């Protein structure tokens, strides 16, 4: 099948490039932005491959020098790795972005209403829209959150919605990340790198800025601070330098201009939270925490945890400190709950989902399990409790033996799995050793919610660096690209 | 953001100490290398002695010579006092402090750490040692310059300079000790050409050669050089100047930032300053220079412990860094 593509003036970088049957993020036409897309494609095509490689190498060195890294642990060493950066950007038109933004705001709004309901009256369970046991039996559902009023009614303050684009060019939601989604630091740093190493590429292209994320986040954290606090003191709570996402914590604390604290820097006295400073104890009102629920407070969760703050949950329950994201948001981004999201949106907002899900079969239901077992070789099957692409199987790419082995696992614990048809993820031209080639990409935009929801005009485009691979996770060799949201009229 | 986390105060003090320590160790090795040229390598042991590392060193090496000592103090990852370890520790502290320190500071420390990590054994071979020590010193001074030009002047800046001053004072006493105590020449050699050239080498190592030429007006004697290193009002590495600087920094922290702690440290500083002001070099030498240096070092340690107790307390003790 040949799909229409933007024509290029003469031979160049993209001459041998063939996205085959997949939607191409650079060369497939959209409903709008034709002139801008054509100009960018022509500009990319005119790049000299050797020069591009030299500059890519320089960008990579800069990433190492600046320590823009994630940490991988081997037996005895901690190794800092950079997220491979591909220099060819991915482009989103103004019209596409308008729809994406509306769809994300709609989804985040529904997620927050859903969480408020689950920790309130539980109407959606009574009305049997979502099976009660799916929620109440979930390890991420915290009964101590029941009846608690959170500021602005917001539970998921930072939400990362994973999207893919199917073969028709339609964005679909693959996964919700309502707890502590990471990656936004790369969105901003990739842009910085792009501006530094490829200023000529960005000339005359009106790309929307992404460097206001820190301010957006800080404003939201101030909005959710306990009532009556005039100048809320905001901190970022990190597990510390040995966490693989420590760079992101550094980045966010710096961008927000707030202290980066660890559990040992905080104390709770009389149900109020303080940080230990050189001048003694200073009050803390709003915490952007990047540690998981179960490590927040050893008095409530794991008594052996050194990462958290004893008494933090008491202070939280009393309303003396705000936490973003709220504990217990994990129940909304569960891969099993995901299947119900279109119905959840309809239930609370009376609207159809602007961004459709990927069709999903729930193996805990007899029908879903049977369909999955019958069609294993066509489906992607994922465990609901894992992240980072672990424990999944790509049916069409698996051997017969692998499928048989997986069938046994699935039968032994069907409730742990969902399945989805294999989607032909869109591709984007990517600089490889063999020249410019199509590589599959996904997309994670970030929404920040305090009193209202704002979406950063950009997002993390992850790219599967291996030929033909659909796995974009950094832990499995994925890289990233700068994402250009083109400015529309008046933006 | 006006508050400074107690843990970050600790990290910034240590960042400064480790960078200053690395620079001084490079200086000591540089001067030892100069001495060794004259004395067939006998003096390498002195470096081990002034750092009080005999036990750790001889657990790893049989002899202290031109190969083992530089390797132990520059490249040995298992020696917590090696330059490699110091830079690595400085980087770990800088990593914690990244939201506070300038991007330029972080990048340079990060680069230096990568460079040090990639050095081969050959880099510390006798033929390359002097050049390597120069490079390390320059990298450390680059850090100092970048810090001076880019580090925001708030509380953290004062703690940084406290750490730097305390380490510098300590290291100057060690340098003085290496010549005066350990390399004490036979009485008949005092004032000989060899002796003078050692003092000159030492002065070069502390970047005080030029100044001492002007100030001491050609009278390069053990007494005059020791007096210069201990009591000079204007030499940036003299012990008294470091002590005065610490006193000023502490006062600033207490007045500008209203920190209430540090009373005991100020008292100790006062005592140390008085001892350095009240005694002249003849008195010190008559009563034993080495003993005096020992006392100064123990006072510096006590002051540092007080600073940490007053300002750097977290709920759980942070991992201890090496004195």
Cβ contact A276–B314 (<8 Å): yes
Provide the 3-class DSSP secondary structure of residue A272: strand
Q: Which of A275, A290, A283 is nearest to A324 (CA)?
A: A290
Looking at per-residue pLDDT, the higher value among A447 and A203 belongs to A447
For residue B91 the two structure tokens come to: 């980087």
pLDDT for position B323: 62
Cβ-based contacts of B9 with chain A (< 8 Å)? 278
Peptide bond into B270 cis (omega under 30): no
Mean pLDDT (whole number) for B183-207: 74
A222 φ/ψ angles, rounded to the nearest 5 degrees? -75, -35
pLDDT for position B182: 59
Q: Which of A442, A427, A466 is nearest to A20 (CA)?
A: A427
pLDDT for position B42: 61
Please state, in angstroms and as integers, the Cα–Cα distance from residue A342 to each residue in A82, A121, A442, following that order: 36, 21, 21
d(CA B108, CA B86): 15
Cβ contact A265–B6 (<8 Å): yes
User: pLDDT digit string (tens) for A155-177?
Assistant: 999 999 999 999 999 999 999 99
Give yes or no for A263 touching B (CB within 8 A).
yes
Other beta carbons within 10 Å of A187: 22
Cβ-contact B113, B166 below 8 angstroms = no
| Least confident range of A102-111, A398-407, A457-466, B171-180 | B171-180
The percentage of residues in chain B with a pLDDT greater than 90, rounded to a whole number, is: 68
Question: Strand order of the sheet with strand A379-383?
Answer: A361-362, A417-421, A379-383, A393-394
Give yes or no for B4 touching A (CB within 8 A).
yes
SS3 content of chain A, % helix, strand, coil (to 5): 35, 25, 40
Give yes or no for A297 touching B (CB within 8 A).
no
pLDDT for position A70: 78
Q: Compare CB distances from B314 to A67, A264, A279 and report the shortest one's residue.
A: A264
Q: Compare CB distances from B3 to A65, A264, A282 and report the shortest one's residue.
A: A282
Residue B160 has pLDDT above 90, yes or no: yes
Instruction: Kindly provide the residue ranges of all beta strands, DSSP E only, lying in A336-478, ordered along the sequence.
Output: 361-362, 379-383, 393-394, 417-421, 427-432, 435-444, 446-449, 453-455, 460-463
Cβ-contact B196, B216 below 8 angstroms = no
The percentage of residues in chain B with a pLDDT greater than 70, rounded to a whole number, is: 93
Please list the alpha-helical segments (H only) found in chain B.
Answer: 6-38, 44-50, 54-60, 68-70, 83-96, 103-117, 126-150, 155-177, 193-205, 209-216, 222-231, 239-256, 263-278, 281-286, 289-311
The percentage of residues in chain A with a pLDDT greater than 70, rounded to a whole number, is: 97
Torsion of CA A209, A211, A214, A220, to 10 degrees: -10
For chain B, first and last CA: distance in Å? 30
Mean pLDDT (whole number) for B202-215: 86
Please state, in angstroms and as integers, the Cα–Cα distance from residue A290 to each residue in A82, A108, A214, A260, A459, following that order: 20, 19, 15, 10, 19
A365 φ/ψ angles, rounded to the nearest 5 degrees? -95, 135
| Least confident range of B40-44, B100-104, B275-279 | B40-44
Residue B20 C-alpha, separation from nearest chain A C-alpha, in angstroms: 22
Domain spans in chain B, listed from the N-terminal domain onward: 1-9+16-151, 153-313
Give yes or no for A315 touching B (CB within 8 A).
no
Other beta carbons within 10 Å of A281: 16
pLDDT for position A467: 87
Give yes or no for B279 touching A (CB within 8 A).
no
User: pLDDT digit string (tens) for B45-94?
Assistant: 878 887 889 999 999 999 999 999 999 999 999 999 999 999 999 999 99
d(CA A475, CA B7): 31
Q: Which of residues 8-37 of B touch A (CB under 8 A)?
A: 8-9
Cβ-contact B175, B297 below 8 angstroms = no
Interface probe with A: pick from B7, B255, B262, B320, most Cβ of A within 10 Å: B7
Cβ-contact B140, B22 below 8 angstroms = yes
d(CA A155, CA A326): 5
Residue B1 has pLDDT above 70, yes or no: no
Other beta carbons within 10 Å of A427: 27
- Please name every residue paired with A283 in a beta bridge, in sequence order, or none if there are none: A274
pLDDT for position B316: 74
- Report the chain B residue with the minimal C-alpha distance to residue A235: B1
pLDDT for position B317: 63
Provide the 3-class DSSP secondary structure of residue A449: strand
For residue A299 the two structure tokens come to: 């008095």
pLDDT band at A78 (very low <50, low <70, confident <90, very high): low
Cβ contact A278–B259 (<8 Å): yes
Cβ-based contacts of A232 with chain B (< 8 Å)? none
Write the CB contacts of B288 (distance below 8 Å, at least 6 apart in sequence): none
Calculate ∠ Cα A124-A127-A131, nearest 5°. 70
Instruction: Kindly provide the residue ranges of all beta strands, DSSP E only, lying in A185-308, ordered along the sequence.
Output: 234-237, 260-261, 266-269, 272-277, 280-283, 286-289
> How many residues in chain B?
323
Give yes or no for B258 touching A (CB within 8 A).
yes
Cβ-based contacts of B318 with chain A (< 8 Å)? 264
User: pLDDT digit string (tens) for A439-453?
Assistant: 999 999 999 999 999
pLDDT for position A392: 86
pLDDT for position A102: 98
The structure tokens 């050089």 sit at: B225
Give yes or no for A202 touching B (CB within 8 A).
no
Q: What stretch of H or E contains A322? A: strand A322-324
pLDDT band at A427 (very low <50, low <70, confident <90, very high): very high
d(CA A125, CA A127): 5
| Least confident range of A14-18, A173-177, B40-44, B262-266 | B40-44
Cβ contact A278–B7 (<8 Å): no
pLDDT for position A176: 95
d(CA A315, CA B30): 57
Torsion region of A484: left, alpha or beta (phi above 0 gives left; psi -120 to 50 gives alpha): beta
pLDDT for position B235: 95
pLDDT for position A68: 85
Give yes or no for A261 touching B (CB within 8 A).
yes
Other beta carbons within 10 Å of A384: 19
Residue A291 C-alpha, separation from nearest chain B C-alpha, in angstroms: 16
- Report the chain A residue with the minimal C-alpha distance to residue B5: A277
Cβ-contact B31, B205 below 8 angstroms = yes
Cβ contact A278–B95 (<8 Å): no
Cβ-contact A29, A37 below 8 angstroms = yes
pLDDT for position B96: 94
pLDDT for position B37: 66
- Report the chain B residue with the minimal C-alpha distance to residue A258: B1
Mean pLDDT (whole number) for A12-35: 94
pLDDT for position A168: 92
- R_g of chain B, CA atoms, integer Å: 19
Helices (H) and strands (E) in chain A, counts: 14, 22
Residue B141 has pLDDT above 80, yes or no: yes
Cβ-contact A438, A427 below 8 angstroms = yes
Cβ contact B1–A278 (<8 Å): no
User: pLDDT digit string (tens) for A364-412?
Assistant: 889 999 999 999 999 999 887 665 567 888 888 899 999 999 999 999 9
User: pLDDT digit string (tens) for A136-153?
Assistant: 988 899 999 999 999 999
Residue B220 has pLDDT above 90, yes or no: no
Cβ-contact A301, A295 below 8 angstroms = yes
* Centroid of chain to Cα B32: 15
Residue A64 C-alpha, separation from nearest chain B C-alpha, in angstroms: 8
Cβ-based contacts of B6 with chain A (< 8 Å)? 265, 276-278
| Least confident range of A18-27, A315-324, A468-477, A479-488 | A468-477
| Overall pTM surpassing 0.95 (yes/no) | no
Residue B184 has pLDDT above 70, yes or no: no
Mean pLDDT (whole number) for A105-124: 98
Q: Which of A234, A128, A184, A59 is nearest to A447 (CA)?
A: A184
Q: Which of B79, B300, B7 is nearest to B169 (CA)?
A: B300
DSSP A156: -
pLDDT for position B186: 65
| Least confident range of A114-123, A171-180, B219-228, B260-269 | B219-228
Q: Which of B140, B121, B144, B112 is nearest to B22 (CA)?
A: B140
Supply the mean pLDDT for chain A: 92
Cβ contact B3–A280 (<8 Å): no
Calculate ∠ Cα A291-B106-A325, nearest 5°. 20
Mean pLDDT (whole number) for B19-47: 80
- Report the chain A residue with the minimal C-alpha distance to residue B92: A241
Q: Which of B264, B282, B296 is nearest to B226 (CA)?
A: B282
DSSP A207: B
Residue A62 C-alpha, separation from nearest chain B C-alpha, in angstroms: 9
For residue B44 the two structure tokens come to: 């390498």
Q: So what's the ipTM on this one?
A: 0.91
Domains of chain A with bracketed CATH: 227-320 (3.40.50.11290), 359-421 (3.30.1490.270)
Other beta carbons within 10 Å of B2: 10
The percentage of residues in chain A with a pLDDT greater than 90, rounded to a whole number, is: 76
Q: Compare CB distances from B1 to A66, A259, A265 and report the shortest one's residue.
A: A259
Residue B90 C-alpha, separation from nearest chain A C-alpha, in angstroms: 14
Residue A246 C-alpha, separation from nearest chain B C-alpha, in angstroms: 9
Please list the alpha-helical segments (H only) found in A66-146.
Answer: 94-118, 123-126, 132-136
d(CA B318, CA B311): 13
Supply the mean pLDDT for chain B: 90
d(CA A254, CA A251): 5
Interface probe with B: pick from A238, A278, A290, A309, most Cβ of B within 10 Å: A278
pLDDT for position A391: 81
| Least confident range of A69-83, A211-225, B118-132, B272-286 | A69-83
Residue B277 C-alpha, separation from nearest chain A C-alpha, in angstroms: 31
Other beta carbons within 10 Å of A430: 25
For residue B177 the two structure tokens come to: 């000790």
Q: Compare CB distances from A67 to B110, B155, B258 and report the shortest one's residue.
A: B110
- Report the chain B residue with the minimal C-alpha distance to residue A282: B3
Residue A74 has pLDDT above 70, yes or no: no
pLDDT for position B207: 85
Give yes or no for A312 touching B (CB within 8 A).
no
d(CA A163, CA A174): 5
pLDDT for position B39: 59
User: pLDDT digit string (tens) for A304-323?
Assistant: 878 899 999 999 999 999 99
d(CA A218, CA A434): 44
Each as own residue / partner, the long-range contacts of residues A374-378 (CB below 8 Å, 24 or more positions apart, any chain) are A375/A419, A376/A403, A376/A406, A376/A407, A376/A410, A377/A403, A378/A421, A378/A422
- Report the chain B residue with the minimal C-alpha distance to residue A309: B315
Q: Compare CB distances from B6 to A66, A277, A306 and report the shortest one's residue.
A: A277
For residue A290 the two structure tokens come to: 């990047």
Write the CB contacts of A460 (distance below 8 Å, at least 6 apart in sequence): A160, A183, A184, A186, A187, A443, A444, A445, A446, A480, A483
Interface probe with A: pick from B3, B78, B115, most Cβ of A within 10 Å: B3
Calculate ∠ Cα A346-A352-A353, nearest 5°. 100
């Amino acid at each position: 099948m040949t799909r229409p593509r933007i024509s290029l003036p003469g031979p160049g970088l993209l001459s041998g490039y063939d996205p085959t049957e997949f939607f191409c993020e650079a060369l497939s036409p959209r409903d709008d932005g034709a002139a801008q897309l054509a100009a960018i494609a022509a500009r990319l095509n005119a790049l000299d491959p050797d020069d591009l490689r030299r500059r890519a190498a320089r960008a990579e060195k800069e990433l190492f020098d600046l320590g823009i890294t994630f940490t991988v642990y081997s037996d005895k060493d901690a190794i800092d790795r950079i997220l491979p950066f591909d220099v060819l950007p991915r482009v989103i038109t103004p019209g596409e972005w308008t729809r994406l933004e509306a769809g994300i705001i709609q989804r985040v709004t529904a997620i927050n209403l859903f969480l408020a309901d689950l920790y309130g009256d539980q109407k959606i369970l009574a009305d049997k829209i979502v099976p009660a046991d799916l929620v109440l039996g979930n390890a991420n559902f915290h009964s101590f959150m029941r009846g608690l009023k959170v500021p602005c009614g917001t539970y998921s303050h930072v939400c990362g919605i994973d999207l893919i684009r199917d073969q028709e060019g339609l964005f679909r939601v693959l996964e919700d990340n309502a707890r502590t989604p990471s990656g936004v630091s790369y969105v901003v740093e990739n842009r910085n790198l792009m501006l530094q190493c490829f200023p000529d590429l960005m000339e005359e292209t009106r790309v929307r800025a992404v460097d206001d994320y820190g301010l957006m986040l800080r404003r939201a954290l101030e909005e959710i601070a306990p009532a009556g606090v005039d100048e809320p003191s905001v901190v970022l709570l990190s597990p510390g330098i040995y966490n693989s996402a420590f760079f992101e914590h550094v980045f966010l604390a710096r961008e927000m201009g707030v202290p980066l604290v660890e559990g040992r820097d905080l104390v709770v006295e009389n149900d109020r939270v303080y940080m230990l400073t050189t001048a003694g104890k200073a009050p803390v009102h709003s915490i952007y925490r990047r540690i998981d629920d179960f490590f927040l407070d050893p008095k409530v969760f794991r008594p052996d945890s050194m990462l958290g703050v004893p008494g933090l949950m008491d202070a939280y329950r009393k309303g003396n400190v705000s936490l973003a994201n709220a504990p217990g948001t994990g129940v909304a981004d569960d891969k099993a709950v995901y299947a119900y999201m279109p119905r959840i949106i309809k239930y609370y907002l009376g609207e159809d989902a602007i961004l459709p899900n990927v069709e999903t079969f729930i193996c805990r239901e007899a029908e879903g399990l049977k369909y999955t077992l019958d069609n294993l070789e066509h489906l992607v099957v994922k465990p609901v409790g894992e992240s980072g692409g672990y424990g999944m199987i790509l049916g069409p790419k698996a051997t017969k033996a692998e499928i048989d082995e997986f069938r046994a696992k699935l039968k032994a614990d069907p409730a742990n799995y969902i399945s989805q048809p294999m989607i032909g993820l869109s591709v984007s031209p990517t600089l490889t050793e063999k020249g410019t080639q199509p590589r599959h990409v996904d997309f994670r935009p970030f929404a920040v919610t305090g009193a209202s929801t704002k979406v950063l005009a950009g997002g993390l485009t992850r790219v599967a660096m291996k030929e033909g691979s659909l796995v974009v996770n950094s832990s499995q060799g994925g890289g990233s690209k700068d994402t250009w949201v083109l400015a529309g009229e008046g933006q | 953001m006006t508050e400074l986390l107690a843990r970050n105060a600790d990290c910034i003090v240590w960042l400064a100490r480790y960078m200053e320590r690395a620079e001084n160790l490079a200086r000591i090795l540089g001067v030892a290398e100069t001495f060794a040229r004259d004395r067939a390598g006998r003096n390498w042991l002195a470096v081990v002695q002034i750092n009080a590392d005999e036990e750790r060193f001889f657990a790893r090496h049989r002899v202290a010579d031109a190969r083992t000592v530089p390797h132990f103090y520059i490249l040995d990852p298992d020696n917590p006092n090696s330059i490699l370890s110091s830079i690595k520790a400085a980087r770990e502290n800088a990593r914690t402090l990244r939201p506070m320190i300038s991007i330029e500071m972080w990048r340079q420390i990060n680069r230096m750490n990568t460079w040090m990590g990639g050095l081969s054994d050959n880099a510390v071979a006798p033929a390359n040692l002097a050049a390597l020590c120069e490079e390390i010193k320059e990298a450390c001074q680059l850090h100092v310059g970048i810090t001076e030009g880019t580090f925001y002047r708030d509380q953290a800046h004062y703690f940084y300079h406290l750490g730097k001053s305390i380490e510098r004072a300590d290291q100057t006493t060690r340098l003085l000790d290496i010549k005066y105590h350990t390399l004490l020449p036979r009485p008949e050699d005092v004032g000989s050409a060899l002796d003078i050239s050692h003092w000159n080498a030492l002065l070069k190592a502390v970047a005080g050669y030029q100044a001492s030429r002007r100030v001491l007006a050609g009278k390069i004697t053990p007494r005059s050089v020791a007096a210069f290193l201990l009591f000079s009002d204007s030499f940036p590495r003299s012990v008294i100047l470091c002590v005065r600087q610490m006193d000023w920094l502490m006062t600033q922290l207490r007045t500008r930032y209203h920190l209430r702690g540090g009373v005991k440290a100020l008292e100790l500083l006062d005592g140390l300053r008085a001892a350095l002001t009240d005694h002249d070099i003849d008195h010190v030498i008559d009563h034993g220079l080495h003993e005096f240096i020992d006392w100064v070092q123990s006072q510096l340690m006590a002051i540092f412990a007080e600073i940490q107790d007053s300002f750097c307390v977290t709920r759980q003790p942070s991992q201890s860094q090496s004195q």
